[in-house]
Structure 1
Amino acid sequence: MHIENADLNLLKALDVLLEERHVSRAAARFHLSQSAMSRTLSRLRETFGDELLVRTTRGYELTPRARAIQQELEFILPRLRALVRGGEFDPATSADSIRVNCTDYAVTVLGGRLFGRIFEQAPRLSLTVEPLSPRTYDEIEHGRVDLALSPVQPPSGLHWQPLFQEDYVCAVAFDHPITASRLTLDQLAEYPRVSVVVLPQQVMVIDRRLAELGVTQRSGLRVPYFEAAFTALPGTLLIALVPRRLVEARRNDSSVRLIEAPAEIAAPFPYGMVWHPRLNSDPAHVWVRERVAEVAADLRP
């Protein structure tokens, strides 16, 4: 194959096909019909002289050539976009796609102001928000996720920018028998807790602190979202240890009230954003990161 005979516009479609390993899902993400994406796959197979995707009993699998191409595309596509665009970026006309991983906490605390600011200035930009997962940092490494918002600092090799400080408070049902303005560790251990387990198989920040202090709580409830923790509180003796700003966002909810956490676990922790160095100078990515930082800076201490 000679580059003169190749249609470089197909590379983005190829990237999506190799990531999804499914023609229909790739078509939906690329805003094409399934038949159009099938024709695109045929052209790609002809261009690269390889099947790329092979149907098996478990679905489509990548050929060895496709795996090698996928690794190269992780670096080539951002560079091609920057090369074509140069150093210029106009949010009013940008049709870039940015994929973000975060929890419902980040959407609640930052989302409203962030999304409003982004789409007011960049109405054609495509922003996909997906849940934070144990695979998030690997997905950033492989170029499938552009940005993560998390209190968990990433492994070396990824960039981390602190956005603000957060701390934990206790949320309980409005009629919970505890009336003190601040819990003690003994009181915390006396009642069952609703634990928010965002990353299965990994220890959450607050659970690590409690373990270090030797605090063992009664069995309670484990949920995957902070919003689910609040929903579980009314009518129970459960205690939820949640970030303060999340409780403040629900200050009009009369079914739940706030109690200060024990002083031993009330120390603040940083919340930040994570990205891969390959996107350091990508104009669209820089612009989105700047908007995130602006909204975070506007948060009250």
Structure 2
Amino acid sequence: MDTRELAKIDLNLLISLQVLLEERNVSRAAERLYITQPAMSKTLSRLRSLFDDPLFTRSSHGMQPTPRADELTQGLSEILAGISHLVSNSHFDPAQCSAEVTLAVSEYIGVTLLPALTARLQAQAPLLHLKIITRVENQLEQLALGNLDFAIHIRQNQYGGDFRIADLGGSPPVLLMRAEHPLSQVPVTETHLGQYPIIRLYVSDREQLDVTPISSSLEEARQWSRGTLEISHLMTAMEVLRNTDYLMPGPAFLLQNESVAQGITAQPFPGAEDISVDYVLVSHHRTANSPMHSWLWEQITCTIRELRPTQPRKLRQRVAAGST
């Protein structure tokens, strides 16, 4: 695109041409544009110079467009409509939205959220392209750069003023293990953490998280544990749990998904019984005036609100009973 040529054009001339094509009369076109007839005549002269064509000729039936003017008519309305849409806060229709939206969400959050969210979006915005990224570091930077539209993660220690944040609620941390694990029927202590290998599930921007007590316990246990397995694939991690004596710290809401939690039980995380790990939805203020992003924000938060009521009671029962 040669922007230098575009910069030479007064877009008001195109509006005037559109009105002239509709009215076929200089006086009526002047009235619609709230200018005098001489000013309208001068505008027509500038249009003729711009397009190097008379554009209109006089006849007994008024002004008649030339072939060049007829040619311009075909695209001018669409161009002006596009400009109007570009600069206005147009109505957003989810059913017609075919944009691509990128959401960063860890697999252990997504396995609970995404089935309900995608069902909602499929019903309301069937043309939407939703791209899920489960492993991405520096999420706040990626939001600011436009590489992400939304992120759902554990609350970080600090957010700048450029970010919009919604609290999504919290979940108690638990120790996940196979149902027949030696610790499944006894109170787990910090000493136990050093007697069994531990799975460390990937968490983005771990060093920025506000979960210091849990991190400290894990780091201490890691120094004298029997080994660790670091992994980013939740389903693989759960399969390892089902077939070994590994322990895995994780959010209690994972037990809400029956297929994921089959054969798995949980015990309270030692020393963190009164702690809640809080989750947030984050976007950058660059999307603040986007109707599409505002609509999606509401869909995500509404989906989580609908999931939340059944979660606390079920999870407390599971953790307390140590059952699958």
The separation in 2 between residues aligned to 1:81 and 1:94, in whole angstroms, is 18
Corresponding residue pairs, total: 228
**Higher deviation after alignment, 115-124 or 134-143:** 134-143
What residue number does 1:221 align with?
229
CA root-mean-square deviation:
2.8
Q: Is the 8 A contact 2:189 2:270 kept in 1?
A: yes
Task: Give the letter for the 2:93 counterpart.
Answer: D
Cα separation, partners in 2 of 1:223 and 1:82, compared to 1, 3 Å = farther
1:234 Cα deviation after fit: 2.4
The separation in 2 between residues aligned to 1:166 and 1:88, in whole angstroms, is 37
Normalised TM-score (structure 1)? 0.67
The separation in 2 between residues aligned to 1:81 and 1:97, in whole angstroms, is 23
**Higher deviation after alignment, 207-216 or 129-138:** 207-216
Q: Is the 8 A contact 1:93 1:122 kept in 2?
A: yes
Q: 139, 142, 150: which is aligned to 1:139?
A: 142
Q: Is the 8 A contact 2:173 2:276 kept in 1?
A: yes
Instruction: Spell out the pairing of 1:176-215 with structure 2 (5 A cutoff).
Output: 176-180=181-185, 182-199=187-204, 202=207, 209-211=214-216, 215=220
Cα separation, partners in 2 of 1:81 and 1:116, compared to 1, 3 Å = farther
The separation in 1 between residues aligned to 2:186 and 2:214, in whole angstroms, is 21
Which protein is bigger by CA-based radius of gyration?
2
* 2:293 is aligned with 1:285: yes
The separation in 2 between residues aligned to 1:95 and 1:210, in whole angstroms, is 41
Q: Is the 8 A contact 2:144 2:286 kept in 1?
A: no
Higher helix share: 2
1:201 Cα deviation after fit: 7.3
What residue number does 1:236 align with?
244
Q: 90, 95, 103: which is aligned to 1:92?
A: 95
What residue number does 1:27 align with?
none
**Unmatched 5+ residue regions in structure 1?**
7-79
Cα-to-partner distance string for 1:75-98 (whole Å, 9 max, x where unaligned): xxxxx9973562411111122221
Task: Give the letter for the 2:189 counterpart.
Answer: T
Cα-to-partner distance string for 1:220-272 (whole Å, 9 max, x where unaligned): 21111333321211232211111111122136754322222224355112111
The separation in 1 between residues aligned to 2:209 and 2:192, in whole angstroms, is 21
1:195 Cα deviation after fit: 0.7
The separation in 2 between residues aligned to 1:209 and 1:82, in whole angstroms, is 50
Cα separation, partners in 2 of 1:213 and 1:225, compared to 1, 3 Å = closer
* 2:110 is aligned with 1:107: yes
What residue number does 1:150 align with?
153
Q: What secondary structure sits across from 2:220 in the alignment?
A: coil
Normalised TM-score (structure 2)? 0.62
Counting aligned pairs with the same residue, the percent is 20
Q: Is the 8 A contact 2:213 2:272 kept in 1?
A: no
The separation in 2 between residues aligned to 1:108 and 1:125, in whole angstroms, is 20
The separation in 2 between residues aligned to 1:91 and 1:263, in whole angstroms, is 46
**Unmatched 5+ residue regions in structure 2?**
10-82, 313-324
**Higher deviation after alignment, 123-132 or 194-203:** 194-203
* 2:5 is aligned with 1:2: yes
* 2:277 is aligned with 1:257: no
Q: Is the 8 A contact 2:193 2:221 kept in 1?
A: no
Cα separation, partners in 2 of 1:170 and 1:250, compared to 1, 3 Å = farther
